[in-house]
Chains A and B, each alone.
Chain A
Amino acid sequence: MRVPVARHHTAFVLLASLALILAACGSSAQSSGPTATTAASEASESEPASAAAEPNELLVLDWSGYEADDFWTDFKAANPDTEVAFEFGDTDANILALMQGGSQADIFHFYTGWQQFYVDEGLVQEIDTSKLANWDKVPDRYQELGQIDGKQYFVPWDWGFTSILYNTEQVDEVTSWDALFNEEYAGHVSMWNDGPGAVAVSSYVNGWDETALTEDQLAQIEADWIAQKSLNAFYWSGEYTDLCPAVQDGTVWVAYAWQGCYATALAAGDPVAYANPEEGRNSWVGLYGISSDTDSYELALEFLDLKLAELSCGNAVTLFYYGCANGDVMAAIEDPVLIEAFGINDPSILESTNFTPLVTEEQREAWTGMWERVQAE
């Protein structure tokens, strides 16, 4: 496309041409896309193609931050020539949407509650655990979370708690989830921006079974959270960008939080505590699945196996303050802040913890729709 150009804009044209050339060179040198779907459909059976025929590249659909080398450093060391590219999603719903929408990712990462959708939609294939050298380091409880109908579809990797993080100077000891609804803390509460999360909290507070809520109960939950809005300073989406700074500077006194912020604040010496509510904490586990469409099955297995290795998994602990599915790594933790954050010395915590249950399609639609209405009120 020729554009009329005056002499003293030659600089710009040259610059632009250079930019385009650079972009072309950059993109072709590091190919960022997966191979065509025709090859992929042949490999969609669980029998993997021979390793020699697999392309030496992987596309991983993950959350922002997880693309960092630290979290797959063992794989990188073992396969320096493999191109690993990342696509990003920022919520479980988003990841599901992208996979359903046709993402070519070989591997994807999401959190407990959403497993059934991937299996029902045929988006995931079984994991051959005999090929995972680190599989026996994963405790049974976590292995089971990655199973549907007895088949191992997912590999657990990171995990953590959800509870109430609170400022000990402003707030008395928190013993229940209803602290989030306590009017004494008006303007200083922060809830996570997530419908299913809100439903879970309400279920705990009211003693209801979150997998079997009636319409009336759901309507009550909606009304409760609409009323709660006046207590809420803001809804947080980014743990380290939204919540942590606000907790640390004293804006937020009571928050629905993962232990990451707790550990960060504790390490900084802030006056915070992480509640053990009478209803029990919540726990979530991050799961990795291999796409049923992939033509890099063996490579993907190796990627996940090496992610479970000590260093790659351990980095989730040291860098994000999240738990890791490798039992050896957890047993070796010595940092007192982390021991406190994970409640390692208190086994009763895990016993009373509620793990996120599977969600059905109707529930997902109802709960997320309800949450958007709450937001809009």
Chain B
Amino acid sequence: MLGRRGTLKFLAGPPLVWLALFFLLPLFLIAAFSFRAGSGAIGPSDPWAPSVEQYQEVLGTPAFMRLLGVSVLVAVGVAGFATLLAYPVAYFLTFRAGSHASLYLTLLLVPFAVSYLLRVMAWKLMLGPEGGINSLLGSLGLTEEPIGLLLYSRPAVIITLVYVWIPFAALPIYAAMQRIDRNHLEAAADLGAGPWARFWRVTVPLSLPGALATFFMVFIPTVGEYVTPSLVGGTDGIMYGNIIQGFFTRSANWPMGSAMAMIMLGLTLTLVVVALRVVDLRRVAA
């Protein structure tokens, strides 16, 4: 039978091997591509000499750097709103839904089994100038002109992303809330704390790790997001990920696309590490 050490090897081993083989290795190939000169989609077997010209080009183009900064800000906004709005949902599932929690959770996730493309097409039907929402507002006399910013704009991207993320964002918070020992709340009540006090001083602190996990879970992939901006972002909603995609697909310039991706990876990782340090410091101080 396996001892503790053996169990560890068995638990940590397979994920490590799988991730190393099918994640680190491909990523390494991309990193290698980013250090190539030239702009073609060069075959992997073509000879190459290391060069930083791709990085120079990317870092030296103000438009790209500005867009990266904007994308980070958008990601922070989306993550913030998604976490904020997902929190009550998670709370509802934990403390109100009772035995139906699993069902309610499933109901939240199930729409995602329907093709995103089709759902967005349906959404556009509602959001467009001749669409349902504008027709409704118009017929109620609330607006004279169709509202442009609901579609093909940066706000449209943020709204859509938040909307899409909320069910997934609720999950880590829900998981963290579930583990809150009811006895803590009992004790607080016994000591005279009212409902709001119990919430702020027991529930929130104990579920904070889950909320933080959610924030990062949403923030990290959103920096490089490109699908939603291409569907609803229009000209103004373009994000850094669209340019990466552009270099890979529109321009056949894999080295450039790889360099842009590596830069974004580096920045995101740095931001996350810094943020985690800050958070840890605060918790230690508290």
Tell whether A pairs with B: yes
B129 and A251 contact, CB distance less than 8 A:
yes
A376 and B252 contact, CB distance less than 8 A:
no
Bits for A82-104, please: 1 = Cβ < 8 Å to B, else 0.
00000001110110111011100
The answer, yes or no, to whether B254 is at the interface (CB within 8 Å) is yes
B254 and A97 contact, CB distance less than 8 A:
yes
B252 and A94 contact, CB distance less than 8 A:
yes
A368 and B43 contact, CB distance less than 8 A:
no
A371 and B250 contact, CB distance less than 8 A:
yes
Complex: how many Å from CA A375 to CA B43?
27
B130 and A233 contact, CB distance less than 8 A:
no
A371 and B251 contact, CB distance less than 8 A:
yes
The answer, yes or no, to whether B152 is at the interface (CB within 8 Å) is yes
Interfacial chain A residues near B42, Cβ < 8 Å: 100
A101 and B41 contact, CB distance less than 8 A:
yes
A234 and B233 contact, CB distance less than 8 A:
yes
Q: Which of A80-131 contact B (CB under 8 A)?
A: 89-91, 93-94, 96-98, 100-102
B242 and A250 contact, CB distance less than 8 A:
no
B233 and A187 contact, CB distance less than 8 A:
no
B243 and A376 contact, CB distance less than 8 A:
yes
Q: Which of B86-131 contact A (CB under 8 A)?
A: 117, 121, 124, 128-131
B250 and A373 contact, CB distance less than 8 A:
no
B44 and A101 contact, CB distance less than 8 A:
yes
The answer, yes or no, to whether B61 is at the interface (CB within 8 Å) is yes
Interface size class of B (residues with CB under 8 A): 35 or more
Bits for A335-355, please: 1 = Cβ < 8 Å to B, else 0.
000000000000000000000
Interfacial chain B residues near A98, Cβ < 8 Å: 41
Interfacial chain A residues near B128, Cβ < 8 Å: 246, 249, 251
Complex: how many Å from CA A194 to CA B252?
12
Interfacial chain B residues near A194, Cβ < 8 Å: 250
B250 and A193 contact, CB distance less than 8 A:
yes
Least Cβ–Cβ distance between B6 and chain A, in angstroms: 13
Complex: how many Å from CA A24 to CA B131?
46
Interfacial chain A residues near B117, Cβ < 8 Å: 241
B249 and A372 contact, CB distance less than 8 A:
no
A376 and B67 contact, CB distance less than 8 A:
yes
Interface residue count on the A side (C-beta < 8 Å): 40
Partner of B253, one of A90, A187, A250, A369: A369
The answer, yes or no, to whether A377 is at the interface (CB within 8 Å) is yes
The answer, yes or no, to whether B230 is at the interface (CB within 8 Å) is yes
Complex: how many Å from CA A234 to CA B153?
9
Least Cβ–Cβ distance between A219 and chain B, in angstroms: 14
Least Cβ–Cβ distance between A145 and chain B, in angstroms: 21
Complex: how many Å from CA A371 to CA B44?
26
Interfacial chain B residues near A102, Cβ < 8 Å: 43-45
Looking across the interface, which residue of chain A has its beta carbon closest to that of B234?
A234
Least Cβ–Cβ distance between A299 and chain B, in angstroms: 25
Interfacial chain B residues near A195, Cβ < 8 Å: 250-251
The answer, yes or no, to whether B248 is at the interface (CB within 8 Å) is yes
Complex: how many Å from CA A194 to CA B249?
10
A97 and B248 contact, CB distance less than 8 A:
yes
Partner of B249, one of A94, A187, A361, A376: A94
Question: Contacts A93-B249, A94-B249, A369-B39 hold; do A245 and B129 have CB atoms under 8 A apart?
Answer: no
Question: Contacts A232-B235, A250-B129 hold; do A237 and B230 have CB atoms under 8 A apart?
Answer: yes
Question: Contacts A97-B254, A101-B44 hold; do A375 and B238 have CB atoms under 8 A apart?
Answer: yes
A250 and B130 contact, CB distance less than 8 A:
yes
A376 and B63 contact, CB distance less than 8 A:
yes
Bits for A284-297, please: 1 = Cβ < 8 Å to B, else 0.
00000000000000
B61 and A373 contact, CB distance less than 8 A:
yes
Q: Which of A216-264 contact B (CB under 8 A)?
A: 229-230, 232-235, 237, 241, 245-246, 249-251
A375 and B242 contact, CB distance less than 8 A:
yes
Looking across the interface, which residue of chain A has its beta carbon closest to that of B61?
A373
The answer, yes or no, to whether B221 is at the interface (CB within 8 Å) is no
B235 and A233 contact, CB distance less than 8 A:
yes
Least Cβ–Cβ distance between B204 and chain A, in angstroms: 33
Looking across the interface, which residue of chain B has its beta carbon closest to that of A97?
B41
Looking across the interface, which residue of chain A has its beta carbon closest to that of B130?
A249
Looking across the interface, which residue of chain A has its beta carbon closest to that of B14?
A1
B250 and A93 contact, CB distance less than 8 A:
yes
Interfacial chain B residues near A90, Cβ < 8 Å: 249
Looking across the interface, which residue of chain B has its beta carbon closest to that of A361?
B40
Complex: how many Å from CA A176 to CA B40?
34
Query: 8 additional contacts, CB 8 Å, given A91-B249, A97-B249, A375-B243?
Result: A93-B253, A94-B252, A100-B41, A237-B230, A251-B151, A365-B253, A373-B61, A376-B243
A residues in contact (CB < 8 Å) with B: 1, 89-91, 93-94, 96-98, 100-102, 187, 193-195, 229-230, 232-235, 237, 241, 245-246, 249-251, 361, 364-365, 368-369, 371-373, 375-377
Closest 4 CB pairs of A and B: A97-B41, A368-B251, A93-B252, A234-B234
Chain A to chain B contacts (Cβ below 8 Å), 21 pairs: A90-B249, A100-B43, A101-B43, A187-B148, A194-B250, A229-B235, A232-B234, A235-B235, A237-B230, A249-B129, A251-B130, A365-B39, A368-B250, A369-B253, A372-B247, A372-B250, A373-B63, A375-B238, A375-B243, A376-B64, A376-B67
